[in-house]
Chain A
Amino acid sequence: MGKKRILVSLMLAACWFLSSQAFAIDSTRTVLPNGLIVLHSENHNLPIVMVTLIVRAGQVHEPGEKAGLANVTAELLSEGTKARSSKEISEALDFIGASLGISAGADYTTLTLSVLKKDIQKGFDIFSDVLLHPSFPQEEITRVKELIKGSLKHREEDPSFLAGRAFRKEVFGTHPYGRLMEGSAETIDFITREDMMQFHSAYFLPNNAILSVAGDLTPEELQGMLQQYLNEWKKAVVPLTVFGKPAGKPGRSVLKIEKDLTQATLMLGNLGIRREDPDYYAVSVMNYILGGGGFSSRLMRSIRDEKGLAYDVQSFFAAQKESGYYQISLQTKNESANTALAEIITQVKRITAEPVSDEELSEAKSFLTGNFLRRLDTNRKIADFFAAVEFYALGLDYRTNYPGYINAVTKEDILRVARKYLSAEQYVLAVVADQKKAGLQYPEK
């Protein structure tokens, strides 16, 4: 049975390649004299334009005692510029039905603009203004810091937030990836207006950024806009950041957090891989089979489908620029915590002990290669995709190369990466639960 199925899916995979050719989604790449990388995907099927700008200014660039600096800087960009107040910015954007998103991440800050073609000039005018001329008004800083602290408190209502915060801190130790993007109430208080202004002028540079545009815009129109709005953006030397390597956690760490809840939230994992690690594709296939593949994954089939223990269970590898982590998580009623944990451990043991089946391998490859198209089926996704491809240096032909990377993965590769990154003995486990009811058999570290 296994063999027949492989044949079928290989055949179908071939068809998919053929059919995808009719819809070439491409991007041009230009480097401007000021160092800004510009990616452009022209699609005139709808009168909309999607802009994504990535600036290498993230959590990894902020000092530990000022954790949250990248985040609060990002939040402040749209809260006032030299020419516009916070209210004027939101009023102008709302009036044209545009949306501006600004968010800091572990490695970079992203600015996105979604706007109708007819309003692109107005939209891009504001977009460039918040990018180049934020004024960081003190009263807005005070207000936004209070909002962030308030929302941190609010999020403590969410057991996954509590588990994730404890989990990443334990996995990454003092490495920036171990902190919350928002920092903590204490570190937020340390951040000053000068810190933000410095952070902005040091990192928000054209030679430190990638601009990706998709939608109803010709190269000439784009050229004109860059000339008009980003011409004054000047190249400068980007400060050198020395990245430490996270040490990782030897042995087993069990973190228990008490909360009066009906369910236990379990989060188990450890350090993972960098996005640019050559193992990335073998890990993608392995993770699909273990717990990334929804209803096709082993964890889901066993824990949800067969045992009815949880609504959702999944594993994922967060592969970031400098490092990464993997995590297996689920929620189950307190009383089932031990049973569910035992099953997670069983599945980790199994995938590190024996090769996956031919059928599992071929199904995983068919999904990952076939579903890849879906990652490019809207203008928003296209703009984001090409920006990320550039950031991780995957190459403009990544879209056509990806299926090859996935199809090259063998059963041996999968066993090798499973053994390299997963362990049934060494891991960090965070458990948020009514601990008495959960009665976890593992003692705390």
Chain B
Amino acid sequence: MKYFGLLFTLVFFLVSGNAGASDVTEYTLENGLKIILIEEHKAPVVTFQVWYRVGAKDEPAGRSGLSHLLEHMMFKGTPKYGPSVLSRTVQKNGGTDNAYTTKDYTVYFEMLSSDRVALAVELEADRMQNLTLDPKETASERNVVMEERRLRYEDDPQNALFEEVMAAAYKVHPYQRPVIGWMSDLKNIEREALFKYYKTYYAPGNAVIVVAGDIDGEEMMKHIRAAFDDVPRGPESEAVMSREPDQRGERRVILKREAELPYVLMVYHTPSFPDEDSYALEVLNGILSGGKSTRLYQSIVYDKKIALAADADYSGFSKNPYVFFLAATAAPGKDIKDVESALLLEIEKIQEIPPSEREVQKAKNQIESSFIMGQDSIFIQAMKYGTFEMLGGWKLIDTYVEGIRKVTAEDVMKVAKKYFHEENRTVGILVPEKKVKSEE
């Protein structure tokens, strides 16, 4: 993210909803640029988003953080809109802009009143082709990203454990690396590497435009064609070929550093949407966590009172197979081993006895409700279409909704048995210590 917000977990699951609720049209230009228009006239505002099919997973070894640093540099301008001018231009038109990088893709967006949306088209077309990447600006922005890394990871104990756990859970696939990049890699990223990466991935053939809000479809396409029709398609980019081998035994990592409370984070390798099992995993996630009435909170926080928080998180919307998370922060004076055992006990329970029909229905209701609530925001709407497009096509939204509806209690128990076994688990423990050696 050039500014604010979450970097690696743009946690937006629970996008759901009926794909047909808004007026959606799709176009593809000759250069391969895909455009998805969502007409929604309830407020005079528009979000304009450009999604590039490139993220941390595509970075060469030793260059972790390249995608994210490039995202920052995209705000440093072109010959036409120089450094610091881009965001100011949007802001003085009453809009806001931002971007974020994930392990799979990179997204740039503007929010503007509907009569200003042509500005976003022009700015995005310009920086898709003409990024300056000045060496001095690069050096300065690298320092900014290092500060961002210190802020989010070096000085945040639970996030620091997240990095450790992911690095242990993956040994082959690039999901091993943090999106923001390792500090030592960041130091070595020069202008040339950024330029090469930019030229490889930032092109119409590798991008999708999503526009949502108060637009006139034909008018919008006129603007987009005028700005993007002549942009060359760009090279074919390669999909990540590496596949994480099956894990054959539990992995454990311990992180000792200054912190107030112990914390446990465990992950199991799981398939991603649209794998058949992804729907049941999503419902399982809702049964374990997602409201005060769900299992982890009721058992570990409410009844046993050994943790301040206990959560599950299944991130099924990944390009390649990712993980199912379970995490808990110990209450003061409580033993983290007991917290870990309590999490595992909940896993065992659901492997042995199927959840009640009511629990399954509750999880489905929550997914459906947040789907509908999400439609209140054009930004979340656009994000939903963009994400599904990255995973294979926005029409998969219907596949997803159907898949969730079909999940049975037995399906939930089945996936719990299939994936939540010890060999497939990586456990991280944060052990608070008063003095810690900082990274450098």
Residue ranges of A at the interface with B (Cβ–Cβ < 8 Å): 9, 12, 15-16, 19-20, 22-23, 25, 43, 45-48, 86-87, 90-91, 93-98, 114, 116, 143, 146-147, 149-151, 153-154, 156-159, 259-263, 293-296, 301, 304-312, 331-333, 362-363, 366-367, 369-374, 376-380, 434
**Residue contact B439 to A262, C-beta cutoff 8 Å:** yes
| Chain-A contact segment, one of B38-46, B242-250, B395-403, B412-420 | B38-46
Residue B91 is within 8 A (CB to CB) of chain A in the complex: yes
Residues of A within 8 A of B376 (CB): 46, 48, 378-380
**Residue contact B92 to A308, C-beta cutoff 8 Å:** no
The complex places the Cα of A380 from the Cα of B92 at a distance, in Å, of: 26
**Residue contact A378 to B308, C-beta cutoff 8 Å:** no
**Residue contact A146 to B331, C-beta cutoff 8 Å:** yes
User: Could you pull out 28 A-B pairs where Cβ atoms are within 8 angstroms?
Assistant: A20-B44, A20-B113, A43-B42, A94-B293, A95-B293, A96-B365, A143-B302, A143-B305, A146-B331, A154-B261, A154-B308, A157-B158, A260-B438, A261-B155, A262-B150, A262-B154, A262-B439, A310-B147, A333-B147, A367-B91, A367-B92, A370-B116, A371-B91, A371-B94, A372-B94, A373-B44, A374-B96, A376-B43
Residue B373 is within 8 A (CB to CB) of chain A in the complex: yes
**Residue from A20, A46, A293 whose CB has the most chain B CB atoms within 10 Å:** A46
Known: A48-B376, A369-B94. 5 other contacts (CB 8 A): A19-B113, A153-B260, A157-B158, A260-B434, A311-B144
Residue B332 is within 8 A (CB to CB) of chain A in the complex: yes
Shortest distance from the beta carbon of B333 to any chain A beta carbon, whole Å: 9
The complex places the Cα of A216 from the Cα of B291 at a distance, in Å, of: 24
Residue ranges of B at the interface with A (Cβ–Cβ < 8 Å): 3-4, 42-45, 75, 83-84, 87-88, 91-96, 111, 113-116, 139-148, 150-151, 154-158, 258-261, 290-294, 298, 301-302, 305, 308, 329, 331-332, 358, 361-362, 365-370, 372-373, 375-378, 434-436, 438-440
**Residue contact B92 to A363, C-beta cutoff 8 Å:** yes
Shortest distance from the beta carbon of A73 to any chain B beta carbon, whole Å: 18
**Residue contact B259 to A366, C-beta cutoff 8 Å:** no
The complex places the Cα of A196 from the Cα of B115 at a distance, in Å, of: 51
Contact of A48 among B95, B155, B373, B436 (CB under 8 A): B373
The complex places the Cα of A379 from the Cα of B377 at a distance, in Å, of: 9
**Residue from B139, B147, B331, B439 whose CB has the most chain A CB atoms within 10 Å:** B147
**Residue contact A9 to B92, C-beta cutoff 8 Å:** yes
Given contacts A12-B116, A157-B259, contact A23 B331 (CB under 8 A): no
Contact of B95 among A9, A150, A371, A380 (CB under 8 A): A371
**Residue from A149, A262, A305, A332 whose CB has the most chain B CB atoms within 10 Å:** A262
**Residue contact A16 to B331, C-beta cutoff 8 Å:** no
Contact of B44 among A22, A94, A147, A310 (CB under 8 A): A22
**Residue contact A23 to B3, C-beta cutoff 8 Å:** no
**Residue contact B155 to A308, C-beta cutoff 8 Å:** no
Residues of A within 8 A of B435 (CB): 260
**Residue contact B259 to A94, C-beta cutoff 8 Å:** no
**Residue from A19, A97, A378 whose CB has the most chain B CB atoms within 10 Å:** A97
The complex places the Cα of A187 from the Cα of B258 at a distance, in Å, of: 27
Residues of B within 8 A of A260 (CB): 258, 434-436, 438
Given contacts A90-B292, A305-B83, A310-B144, contact A95 B358 (CB under 8 A): yes
Given contacts A262-B438, A377-B43, A378-B376, contact A367 B94 (CB under 8 A): yes
A432 closest partner in B (C-beta):
B155
**Residue contact A305 to B84, C-beta cutoff 8 Å:** yes
The complex places the Cα of A428 from the Cα of B176 at a distance, in Å, of: 43
Contact of B150 among A263, A307, A377 (CB under 8 A): A263
Residues of B within 8 A of A116 (CB): 369, 372-373
**Residue contact B94 to A157, C-beta cutoff 8 Å:** no
The complex places the Cα of A308 from the Cα of B146 at a distance, in Å, of: 9
The complex places the Cα of A331 from the Cα of B149 at a distance, in Å, of: 11
Contact of B88 among A154, A262, A296 (CB under 8 A): A296
Residues of B within 8 A of A301 (CB): 84
Residues of B within 8 A of A380 (CB): 376
Shortest distance from the beta carbon of A429 to any chain B beta carbon, whole Å: 19
